[in-house]
């Protein structure tokens, strides 16, 4: 992820130590200066995200990384980034919660990431990689989308991804777009009027107008940027829905079920916000032959968070079941096979 960020032209990193993501700041500490950027070990998560705010206001691609407890502290800054329409990338390598929790893999920060985790009426783009390669590949996309929509983007990984080693092709597969012109950035007001970066709208009506602009932007993101991977959907009786590491376990369970002749499929959301609603709508619209008999089985390393988005997308047109564990527990391939077998019978 750190190298993916460098390849994306990230020129500023600030972070604070927390497990299980300490490899990112350690890598950045040596790599970022090589790449001509700035690395700062901040005194706190609050300082780190506000340094990212400053770097972004100054016009460069900037990021921070952390895990749940640190991401909670960063919410203030993320809200300000959204309010000031500043692009930035925030990596959350999720660990068990609530509170100090533990350092085991988890997906319990889904709500925090996909609902505005801080104060105010905003959203972050949320990308969820499922392999080391994809974690690398999604970083340039995160920076591009953040710049395109002038919005913070979260890359939501989990402790398994944060700690695992896998082969990686480091030449960027994704065609990286350069950081666009940022005429709003703070560079000193030579040959132009002074720029102001702010999220404060005290005069009556101004904040509502600004919020309507934000909503327009969020609508465009929902229309254009939803991404998912679908496998064996067209004839499936049970469709597994999982993201990140959990999707890999679900996928291997699904493939074994297929070997036994059971009609299982998989939807793996790659963007969690915007949530890929359309595929669920397509599969459940009345009048299609398979409408009534699809069951969605949502599998998560939490006690049920993404399942709410699946229910909203399905809107009562199909049954939605849930399988999950949290606090370091991970549903196994066997758990998935058993649960699907029960549903298919």
Residues that bind another protein (CB under 8 A): 11-12, 14, 38, 40, 42-44, 46-48, 50-55, 57-60, 62, 76-77, 80, 84, 186-191, 194-200, 202
In the complex with another protein, the residue whose CB is nearer, 13 or 322, is 13
Cβ 125 to another protein, closest distance in Å?
21
Give the span between the Cα atoms of 263 and 284, in whole angstroms: 17
Give the span between the Cα atoms of 270 and 6, in whole angstroms: 21
- Which of 256, 282, 289, 288 is closest to 267 using CA atoms? 282
Residue 160 is classified by DSSP as H
Cβ 64 to another protein, closest distance in Å?
11
In the complex with another protein, the residue whose CB is nearer, 54 or 69, is 54
Give the span between the Cα atoms of 48 and 30, in whole angstroms: 18
Dihedral of CA 231/233/238/244: which sign?
A: positive
In the complex with another protein, the residue whose CB is nearer, 66 or 284, is 66
For 282-307, b/e burial (b = at least 16 CB within 10 A) is ebbeeeeeeeeebebbbbbbbeebbb
Beta carbons of 309 and 300 less than 8 angstroms apart: no
Give the span between the Cα atoms of 223 and 278, in whole angstroms: 9
In the complex with another protein, the residue whose CB is nearer, 50 or 302, is 50
- Which of 104, 78, 101 is closest to 93 using CA atoms? 104
Cβ 20 to another protein, closest distance in Å?
25
Cβ 57 to another protein, closest distance in Å?
5
In the complex with another protein, the residue whose CB is nearer, 33 or 98, is 33
In the complex with another protein, the residue whose CB is nearer, 60 or 295, is 60
Cβ 215 to another protein, closest distance in Å?
22
Cβ 204 to another protein, closest distance in Å?
15
Phi/psi of residue 289, each to 5°? -60, -30
């Amino acid at each position: 992820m750190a190298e993916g960020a460098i390849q994306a032209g990230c020129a500023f990193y600030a972070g604070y130590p927390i497990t299980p993501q300490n490899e990112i700041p350690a890598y950045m500490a040596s790599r970022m200066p090589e790449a001509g950027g700035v690395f700062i070990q901040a005194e706190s998560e609050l300082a780190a995200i506000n340094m990212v705010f400053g770097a972004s206001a100054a016009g460069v691609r900037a990021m921070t990384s952390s895990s749940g407890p640190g991401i909670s502290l960063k919410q203030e800054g993320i809200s300000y980034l959204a309010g000031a329409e500043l692009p930035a990338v925030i990596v959350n390598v999720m660990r068990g919660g609530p509170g100090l929790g533990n350092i085991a893999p988890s997906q319990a920060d889904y709500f925090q990431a996909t609902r505005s985790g801080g104060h105010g009426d905003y959203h972050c783009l949320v990308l969820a990689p499922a392999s080391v390669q994809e974690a690398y590949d999604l970083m340039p996309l995160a920076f591009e989308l953040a710049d395109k929509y002038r919005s913070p983007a979260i890359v939501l990984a989990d402790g398994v991804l944060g700690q695992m080693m896998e082969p990686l092709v480091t030449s960027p597969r994704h065609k990286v777009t350069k950081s666009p012109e940022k005429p709003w950035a703070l560079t000193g007001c030579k040959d132009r009027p002074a720029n102001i970066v702010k999220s404060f709208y005290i005069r009556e009506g101004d904040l509502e107008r600004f919020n309507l602009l934000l909503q327009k932007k969020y609508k465009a993101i929902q229309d254009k940027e939803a991404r998912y991977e679908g496998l064996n959907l067209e004839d499936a009786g049970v469709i597994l829905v999982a993201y990140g590491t959990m999707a890999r376990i679900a996928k291997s369970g699904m493939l074994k079920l297929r070997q036994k002749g059971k009609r299982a499929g998989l939807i793996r959301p790659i963007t969690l916000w915007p949530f890929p609603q359309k595929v669920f709508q397509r599969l459940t619209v009345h009048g299609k032959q398979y409408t009534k008999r699809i069951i969605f089985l949502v599998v998560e390393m939490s006690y049920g968070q993404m399942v709410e988005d699946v229910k909203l997308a399905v809107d009562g047109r199909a049954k939605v079941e849930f399988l999950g564990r949290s606090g370091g527990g991970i549903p196994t391939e066997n758990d998935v096979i058993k649960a699907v077998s029960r549903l298919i019978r």
